[in-house]
Amino acid sequence: MAVFTAVSLDDLAPWLKQFPLGKAEAIKGIASGIENSNFFITTERGQYVLTIFENLGFEQLPFYLNLMRHLAEHGVLVPAPVANASGELVVPLHGKPAAIVSKLEGHSQLDPRPVHCAAVGAMLARMHLAARDFPMHQPNLRALPWWTETTPQVLPYLGQDEAALLRAEMAFQTEFAAGDTYRALAQGPVHADLFRNNVMFDGERLTGFFDFYFAGCDTWLFDVAVTVNDWCIDLGTGRLDPARVRALLDAYHAVRPFTEAEQLAWQPMLRAAALRFWLSRLYDFHQPRAAEMLTPHDPVHFERILRERIAHSAPRLFG
C-alpha cells in the first residue's frame, strides 16, 4: 500500500519486542495501493508484513484479522495474523492501529491465463464456504450506503455524460437491491477486493489471498463479480475474456454451486462491482490524501468496465 505513515528501523525495533518474532533486521515500504501503510519487515524469525491502518479504527479491525485467522484454520490460503505477548492482533504504532501478518510465497500474477482464473475461482468458493460459521459480523463498508453517500461528493467533478451514467446506475442499483432477486442471494463474509495484485502464485500454484481490509458481509455473488471484473478482462477495453470467465466460474461452481437467483442477478451484480470501484477511484482521484509513493488509480478504467457491462451480456454462471 502507499506509505502515509513513515516507519524507520529505529521505530520498529522497540515496538517489535512485544511479538514473538525476534529482533527487527530490515523494513521496506510497499508502494502499491492507496488505503493503508504497508511494509515488508525482516526479523530473526523470517519475513512478515506490517500494516498501519490509516482509515480503519481499533473497533473495526478485529473483524478482518479474526476472519483471516478463521480462514487459515479452515484450510484457506491466507496470511496468518501474529498476536503480541498479550494475545492482541491490533496494537498501536505511531498512534495508529497496526498489525503483523505472515508473508505469502510467490508473486502476483498480473497476466492471468484460464488456469490461474480457475485456481482463484475454486479458492474463492472454498473461502465463502469456510466463512459460513464465522461468528463476527460487519457489513461491507463500501456497499450501497457508501455509494449513496459518495455519489454527491464526486458528481461536481464529472462531465455531463459521466454524471448521467453515475446517476442512472445508482438508480438501477438502488432498485435492484430492493427487489426479491437480490434478497434471495446467499450472503456471508466476502473479500470484496480480490484483484490480481491481492493473490499470490508460485507458477500455476495459488499460494494465497491477502489484503482483507475491505472484507465484510455481503452477497457471495458480489465477491465473484468483483473478481471476474479484474481477473477475466482485457485491461485496455474492459471486455470480458470468455475463456477466463468460463474457467473461473466453472471452478467456483464445482465447489459451491451457483443458484438460480444468482443466475438472474449475475448481470446486475457485474455492474454493481464496476460501479463500486468506479466510485472509489473517482473519490480517491478528486479527494486525494497526502502520502509518500501514492499514485491514485485511474477512474476511467472502471467507467469503461461499467459501460461494457451495461452494453454487453456476460457468459452465464452455469448451464
Q: Are strands 91-93 and 81-82 parallel, antiparallel or unpaired?
A: unpaired
pLDDT of residue 105: 94
User: Which sign does the torsion angle of CA 256, 274, 36, 235 carry?
Assistant: positive
- 275, 147 in Cβ contact below 8 A? yes
Question: Over the stretch 162-218, which tens digit does the pLDDT of each residue have?
Answer: 999 999 999 999 999 999 999 999 999 999 999 999 999 999 999 999 999 999 999
**Cell numbers given for 3:** 506509505
292 pLDDT higher than 50: no
**Cell numbers given for 114:** 484460464
Tell me what the pLDDT averaged over the chain comes to.
Answer: 94
**Nearest-angstrom CA–CA distance, 177 and 132:** 22
Q: Containing H/E element for 146?
A: helix 144-154
**Nearest-angstrom CA–CA distance, 12 and 96:** 14
| Cβ-proximal residues to 221 (8 Å cutoff; 6+ apart), any chain | 185, 186, 258, 262, 265, 266, 269
140 pLDDT higher than 60: yes
Q: Which domains are delineated in the chain?
A: 9-102 (3.30.200.20), 114-311 (3.90.1200.10)
**Nearest-angstrom CA–CA distance, 205 and 111:** 14
**Nearest-angstrom CA–CA distance, 35 and 151:** 19
**Cell numbers given for 140:** 461491507
Place of cell 463500486: 276
**Cell numbers given for 9:** 528501523
Question: Over the stretch 297-317, which tens digit does the pLDDT of each residue have?
Answer: 889 999 999 999 999 999 999
pLDDT of residue 295: 59
pLDDT of residue 3: 59
Global pTM value: 0.91
Neighbours of 287 (CB within 10 A): 12
**Nearest 5°: CA angle at 85, between 82 and 86?**
100
pLDDT of residue 26: 96
